[in-house]
């Protein structure tokens, strides 16, 4: 079987999940009657939705993760069917994983939507992984790179434990 990039980059997160002491199982996650290519069920009640970015972009060294309307609709369906849903953002070159909850993603998207004053076809969540600092996940002020509309500070060692915390 051919190995796709998503197999490798999703695997980086999945192996950390599997090594956690409270881990029991990883299974494919069905969304709308078909197997998701980017989401997995962890144990009985956790959904993990994976995205990866190979290299940071721009002078701000941002890993840019795009969420289209289709992505957000899939995440809505996943969250409706799963008690706990997380978005796992794999920053490949930095060799870091930034994990945010579904609610945190919704908060970022809402902040951007309200700042823009209208819906967008794709919402971009940026992550920075500066040496010696916590990870930052944010959306920019419309039309201004490097100016945050909403920012989350995520501890580098939060993943995978954060998905198992009740």
Dump pLDDT digits (tens) for 38-88: 999 999 899 999 999 999 987 789 999 999 999 999 999 999 999 899 999
Single out the residue of 57, 76, 66, 78 nearest to residue 121, CA to CA. Answer: 66
* pTM recorded for the entire structure: 0.92
For the chain, the domain total comes to 1
User: What range defines the domain where residue 153 resides?
Assistant: 5-164
pLDDT of residue 1: 66
**pLDDT band at residue 146 under the 50/70/90 scheme:** low
β-bridge mates for residue 9, sequence order: none
Region 144-154: mean pLDDT is 81
Alpha-carbon gap, residue 110 to 47, rounded angstroms: 21
- At residue 120, φ and ψ (nearest 5 deg) are -120, 155
pLDDT of residue 88: 97
**3-state class (DSSP) for residue 76:** helix
Q: Tell me: pLDDT of 166 over 80.
A: no
Contact criterion met (CB below 8 Å) for 128 and 135: yes
Greater pLDDT, 142 or 151: 151
pLDDT of residue 10: 78
pLDDT of residue 6: 67
What is the percent of the chain with per-residue pLDDT over 70, rounded to a whole number? 95
């Amino acid at each position: 079987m051919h190995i796709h990039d998503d197999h490798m980059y999703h695997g980086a997160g999945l192996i950390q999940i599997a090594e956690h002491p409270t881990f029991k199982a990883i299974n494919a996650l069905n969304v709308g009657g078909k197997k998701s290519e980017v989401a997995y069920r962890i144990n009985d009640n956790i959904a993990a939705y994976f995205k990866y970015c190979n290299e940071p972009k721009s002078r701000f060294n941002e890993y840019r993760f795009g969420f289209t309307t289709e992505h957000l609709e899939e995440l809505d369906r996943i969250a409706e069917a799963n008690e706990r849903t997380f978005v796992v953002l794999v920053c490949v070159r930095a060799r870091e994983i930034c994990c945010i909850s579904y609610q945190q993603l919704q908060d970022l998207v809402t902040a951007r939507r309200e700042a823009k004053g209208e819906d967008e076809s794709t919402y971009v969540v940026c992550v920075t992984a500066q040496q010696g600092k916590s990870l930052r996940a944010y959306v920019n002020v419309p039309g201004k790179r490097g100016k945050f509309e909403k920012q989350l500070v995520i501890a580098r060692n939060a993943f995978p434990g954060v998905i198992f915390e009740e």
